[in-house]
């Protein structure tokens, strides 16, 4: 027994990366689910929407080292899982689609040979290990696993992770119909009410939404808009936050200086549940001004100009 038969699918073996990216924009994939649910710190509903409608070209990250490393080690992670569990897995080179909604898709790493289940293979640095403590699975990965069960009908997803080539663990996420229904409703809403209608989702407080907004419009030079009452209140709120931040910075500096006075030559200070460290830190800095003066032509050759919109708050009076 493996995945159920009859799942609408497109074969992906030997598919070019360009073709792969093109079909990915036409549906909601597993890695998109976390963004729609607000569980992905690198992608927001707004930034994902911009990519799905073609306003922003999805970045091709296939050549980035962490991605290449993950691809190279996928089979190794699968092998470790087989050795740890005694279960067998195989490749499944298909883009699968939800039986009722062609805009919901899944491309899984491996499928189990003996059960209706999926294996997701991950790699992470040792620094990420704390995110997996006590059986925890990072939210965006959890969403991805539920999404795959939604599309394929799988009973469970095993998610295995290799930490920096030094430790390995796996977790099991069981099918939960209530969770799947909630995810389905969110994804249908995102596609039907935003992507198809070309109505962007509301921006949230993420860096991804900020970046998306900065790319959505081409600015008209010297153009101006009159703020209404709602926007005026937002300006006031922003101004208050700025003043609070300045005061908090001053308060923090005062606290740190008092701790420095007490610590003196000591590098570490401890209380019952917290500690402070005050250690020398070396840094190498590139003297750009000197380099430009001594190598003007070379500096010009390696200097590129970028432009982005910057939102600033100014007092008129």
Under a CB-based contact definition with an 8 Å cutoff, are residues 148 and 30 in contact?
A: yes
pLDDT digits (tens, 9 = 90+) for 185-235: 999 999 999 999 999 999 988 888 888 888 888 888 888 999 999 999 999
Tell which wins on pLDDT, 59 or 133.
133
pLDDT above 80 (res 317) = no
Contact 271, 262 (CB under 8 A): no
Task: Give the lowest-confidence range in 103-107, 205-209, 216-220, 272-276.
Answer: 216-220
Is residue 29 a contact partner of residue 120, using CB atoms and an 8 Å limit? no
**pLDDT at residue 67 tops 80:** no
Q: What angle do CA 274, 277, 283 make, to 5 degrees?
A: 145
pLDDT at 23: 86
CB 87 within 8 A of CB 133: no
How many angstroms separate the CA atoms of 219 and 308, rounded?
Answer: 10
pTM given for the model: 0.79
Phi and psi dihedrals of 29, rounded to 5? -95, 180
Give residue limits of the domains in the chain: 9-206
Distance CA 65, CA 14 (A): 21
Assign a CATH topology to domain 9-206. Lambda Exonuclease; Chain A (3.90.320)
Instruction: Compute the mean pLDDT over every residue in the chain, rounded to the nearest whole number.
Output: 90
**Structure tokens given for 238:** 């922003």
Residue 175 gets the label, from left (phi > 0), alpha (psi -120 to 50) or beta, of beta
Task: Give the model confidence (pLDDT) of 29-40 as tens digits.
Answer: 999 999 999 999
**Local confidence band at 302 (pLDDT 50, 70, 90 cut-offs):** confident
The model's pLDDT over 113-155, given as tens digits with 9 standing for 90+, comes to 989 999 999 998 888 888 998 889 999 999 999 999 999 999 9
User: Is pLDDT above 70 for 184?
Assistant: yes
State the SS3 of 158-177.
Answer: EEEEEECCCEEEEEEEECCH
Indicate the pLDDT class of residue 303, thresholds 50, 70 and 90: confident
Separation between Cα atoms, residue 25 and residue 32, nearest integer Å: 10
What's the DSSP call for residue 131? G
- Sequence-distant (6+) residues with CB within 8 A of 123 are 66, 69, 70, 73, 77, 161, 162, 163
């Amino acid at each position: 027994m493996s995945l159920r038969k009859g799942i609408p699918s497109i074969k992906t073996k030997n598919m070019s990366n360009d073709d792969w990216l093109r079909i990915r924009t036409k549906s909601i994939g597993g890695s998109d689910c976390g963004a729609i649910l607000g569980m992905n710190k690198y992608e927001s509903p707004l930034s994902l929407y911009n990519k799905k409608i073609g306003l922003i070209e999805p970045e091709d990250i296939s050549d980035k080292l962490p991605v290449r490393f993950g691809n190279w080690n996928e089979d190794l992670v699968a092998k470790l899982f087989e050795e740890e569990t005694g279960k067998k897995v195989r490749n499944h080179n298909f883009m699968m689609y939800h039986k009722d909604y062609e805009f919901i898709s899944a491309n899984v790493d491996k499928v189990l040979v003996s059960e209706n289940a999926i294996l997701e293979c991950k790699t992470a640095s040792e620094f990420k290990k704390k995110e997996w403590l006590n059986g925890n699975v990072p939210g965006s990965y959890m969403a991805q696993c539920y999404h795959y069960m939604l599309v394929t009908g799988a009973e469970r997803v095993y998610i295995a992770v290799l930490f920096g080539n030094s430790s390995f663990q796996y977790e099991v996420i069981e099918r939960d119909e209530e969770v799947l229904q909630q995810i389905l409703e969110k994804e249908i809403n995102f596609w039907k009410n935003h992507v198809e209608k070309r109505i962007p989702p509301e921006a949230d407080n993420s860096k991804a939404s900020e970046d998306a907004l900065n790319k959505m419009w081409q600015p008209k030079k010297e153009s101006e808009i009159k703020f209404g009452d709602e926007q005026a209140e937002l300006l006031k709120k922003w101004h208050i936050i700025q003043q609070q931040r300045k005061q908090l910075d001053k308060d923090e500096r005062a606290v740190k200086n008092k701790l420095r006075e007490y610590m003196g030559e000591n590098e570490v200070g401890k209380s019952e549940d917290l500690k402070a460290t005050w250690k020398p830190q070396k840094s190498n800095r590139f003297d750009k001004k000197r380099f430009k003066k001594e190598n003007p032509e070379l500096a010009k050759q390696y200097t590129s100009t970028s432009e982005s919109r910057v939102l600033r708050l100014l007092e008129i009076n």
